[in-house]
């Protein structure tokens, strides 16, 4: 049976870099955030999301205004929970179907930003955590998303503390120097191939 390997890490840790590297090796990688974005644009899901908010969260072209949604939910834990209650079950269903298409692989990678926070690690055979010092993560995320330090800190506040994630993980990759990160990833992939 195909093993599910969770891949996670806090904002700006570099989990997408590692996910892309693993995918380049021909290993199937499911990027939960990307799939969630696609699912959220489905008309039925979009309507349910709009119903959560009193103001319009749509752009002029009828796509979701993600920046506005982020501002509304990251400082309101109740709204964030309500949004997740709409999106997460849809993503889980999509993942189940995706997994069936890849059941001939010994293992797949499921990249999820909030794997522990949603209890998703309980459905994984092993978990890889990508970590980096918080100041470096903040700097990377600010540059990547073109947002303020405050908005990154608000997101970090909604994520499990790094120390707790390390305890719950089977493998930890400290992503400071890319070359070392990729070497460590290769080591872990060799171990996973023997499971």
Binding-site residue set for ATP: 12-17
User: Given its phi and psi angles, is residue 4 left (phi above 0), alpha (psi -120 to 50 degrees) or beta?
Assistant: beta
In order of 49, 63, 64, 92, 195, the CA distances from 79 in angstroms are: 10, 20, 16, 20, 40
Binding residues: 12-17
Assigned token pair, 56: 């319009």
Q: Measured between alpha carbons, how far is 9 from 168 in angstroms, rounded to an integer?
A: 12
Length of the chain: 195
């Amino acid at each position: 049976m195909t093993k599910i390997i969770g891949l996670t890490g806090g904002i700006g840790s570099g989990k997408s870099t590692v996910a892309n590297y693993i995918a380049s090796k021909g290993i199937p990688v499911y990027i939960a955030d990307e799939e969630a974005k696609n699912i959220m644009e489905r008309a039925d899901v979009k309507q349910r999301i709009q119903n959560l908010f009193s103001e319009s969260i749509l752009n002029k072209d009828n796509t979701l205004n993600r920046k506005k949604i982020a501002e509304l939910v990251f400082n309101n834990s109740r709204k964030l929970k309500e949004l997740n209650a709409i999106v997460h079950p849809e993503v889980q269903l999509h993942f189940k179907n995706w997994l069936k298409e890849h059941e001939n692989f010994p293992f797949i990678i499921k990249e999820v930003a909030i794997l522990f926070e949603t209890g998703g690690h309980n459905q994984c055979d092993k978990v890889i955590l990508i970590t980096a010092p918080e100041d470096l993560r903040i700097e990377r995320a600010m540059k990547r998303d073109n947002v303020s330090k405050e908005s990154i800190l608000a997101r970090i506040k909604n994520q499990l503390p790094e120390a707790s994630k390390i305890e719950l993980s089977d493998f930890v990759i400290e992503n400071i120097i890319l070359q070392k990160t990729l070497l460590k990833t290769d080591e872990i992939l060799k171990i996973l191939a023997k499971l």
